[in-house]
Amino acid sequence: MHQLLPSTTPSRIRWRILLLLLFISIITYIDRVNISVTARQMMPALGLTDLQMGQIFSAFVFGYALFQIPGGWLGDRWGPRRVLTFAVIWWSIFTALTAVAPTLPLASLIGIMGSLMVVRFLIGIGEAAALPNFNRAVANWHPPNERGLGIGITIGGIGVGSALTPPITAWIMVNYGWQTAFYAAGGLGIGIALLWYWYATDHPRQHAHVNNAEAELIEGSDSLPDPPVPLEGRSGKAWGTVHDVFTEFETREGRPPASQAKGNGTGGKKDIPISSTPIRTGRKSEPASIHKSKTTTVPWQAILTTPTVWWLTLSYTCLGYVAYVYMSWFYLYLVNVRGFAILQGAFFASAPFIAMAIFCPLGGWVTDRLTEKYGVNCGRAWVGGAGMILAALSIIIGANIEAPYVAIGFLSLGAGWLYFTVGPFWSSTTDLSKPYAGTLSGLMNTGANLGGTLSPTLTPWLADTFGWSVSLGIAAGIALLGGLCWLMIRPEYGLKS
């Protein structure tokens, strides 16, 4: 049976877990956007029009948006190790099947386009679990003063994946055919999923190489016991007894009962702790809180009646709208509007995503430092609000300036400042309630994908009707609205009791 390694110097296993999450994040984005590159050969080969290809792209977004909340809930209930492993293998299999979708028996029933839409929809279902479970893993593996940086590094993989995908996919496609690009991406995803399952655990105290010093560092200020939950198999009948025990404990310790606190769970500033007393399970120890969390019912009434949840979701919807402008139209904007050549435009189109990869962890680090010094509400809101407002300012300048290279610089800064806010957004869901961080982040990311559903269609329509300056100006205004929402966001107060 595993015992935590005795040492006064904390081990650094949490950073290895974070590196694995970064790898998964990169492959997530590779599998999401490689079809936009292979479409150049797929469309003539399969006889697909631009409109049909757009519908195939939309099938992914629909599945992705639809399963955000279930994906996050599964992570809260079963843990990110198993959920991420299953999800990555799931979408990797269907990524590989994209190559043969036109020849599947399904294609004879609903056509080539229909078969591709079903496969892309199923990829979207799998990838929907990714970001909420990244957040669940960071919440489990990092103390409060590292969570912004942790999620910033992880989601920064979007920028890395965006920069790597076009040239690598194009090279594979040109040399080995478009089908090989999907086989390679699928195989890479399965390999990373197996590596994650082999090395990762849901909680630090389960890991064979985490010493006691690191476990205590991660638990940090998590000094309150877990909130009372119905005991397994008793249908909640033991609730009153368990509640009395916890209330008596808190009273002896000189603390207000959890039911009267202001943050986590359904209220209380402190994070819900990982139990320090392991339950022996064979290969590794497992905290008692893990078993209890599996019987906890999601407090939907508390979630849906907490104003901060809705302001956070609205603000992230604004971020999603603007982010999809970059993902869908920035390259064509450079070529068609700014007059760049095809290869030159492809090179400069990576600039916003490089900015995202840099600004995303930077914003996470800044929000952690400000949170330590000024508290959760200020630390999250200052970075979230300032980043969105600076993104709006950068976009409006870039859209209206004549010099093309200067315009690229400002528009890229806009993308960077936009993703500067990722740390406070995702950390706020953990601040609201650590036990339900996966569910809350799934709800928040559903908003982002609602915005992302509107953006690819609305942006070109506005540009055709009023011009690109107006279209990008509206995106800047939406970013400004998202920044102003942070005036109403108070994650430190937790869910409404």
| H-helix or E-strand spanning residue 286 | strand 285-287
How far is the first Cα of the chain from the last one, in angstroms, to the nearest whole number?
40
Whole-angstrom distance, CA of residue 219 vs CA of residue 336: 52
Q: Give residues with Cβ within 8 angstroms of 439, minimum separation 6.
A: 69, 72, 73, 76, 132, 298, 303
Phi, psi angle pair for 211, to nearest 5°: -90, 170
pLDDT in tens, 457-494: 788 889 888 999 999 999 999 999 999 999 999 999 98
**Amino acid code (one letter) for 300:** W
Whole-angstrom distance, CA of residue 145 vs CA of residue 133: 19
Contact call for residues 255 and 243 (beta carbons, < 8 A): no
Whole-angstrom distance, CA of residue 135 vs CA of residue 155: 9
Per-residue pLDDT of the chain (497 residues; tens, 9 = 90+): 355 555 578 889 999 999 999 999 999 988 888 887 788 788 889 998 877 877 888 788 888 988 999 999 999 999 999 999 999 999 999 999 999 999 999 988 999 999 999 999 999 999 999 999 999 999 999 998 899 999 999 988 888 887 788 788 888 888 899 999 999 999 999 999 999 999 999 999 999 999 999 998 988 755 433 343 333 333 333 333 333 433 343 343 344 443 344 444 444 444 433 333 333 333 344 443 443 444 458 888 999 999 999 999 999 999 999 998 888 778 778 888 888 886 677 778 889 989 999 999 999 999 999 999 999 999 999 999 999 999 999 999 999 998 999 999 999 999 999 999 999 999 999 999 888 988 999 999 998 888 877 887 788 889 888 999 999 999 999 999 999 999 999 999 989 87
Residue 407's closest CA among 415, 398, 395, 416?
398
Alpha-helical regions (H) of 67-220:
68-78, 80-97, 105-127, 130-141, 147-155, 157-176, 178-199, 212-219
Contact call for residues 442 and 68 (beta carbons, < 8 A): yes
Whole-angstrom distance, CA of residue 158 vs CA of residue 354: 9
- The sign of the CA dihedral 253, 259, 265, 269 is negative
pLDDT in tens, 168-182: 888 888 889 999 999
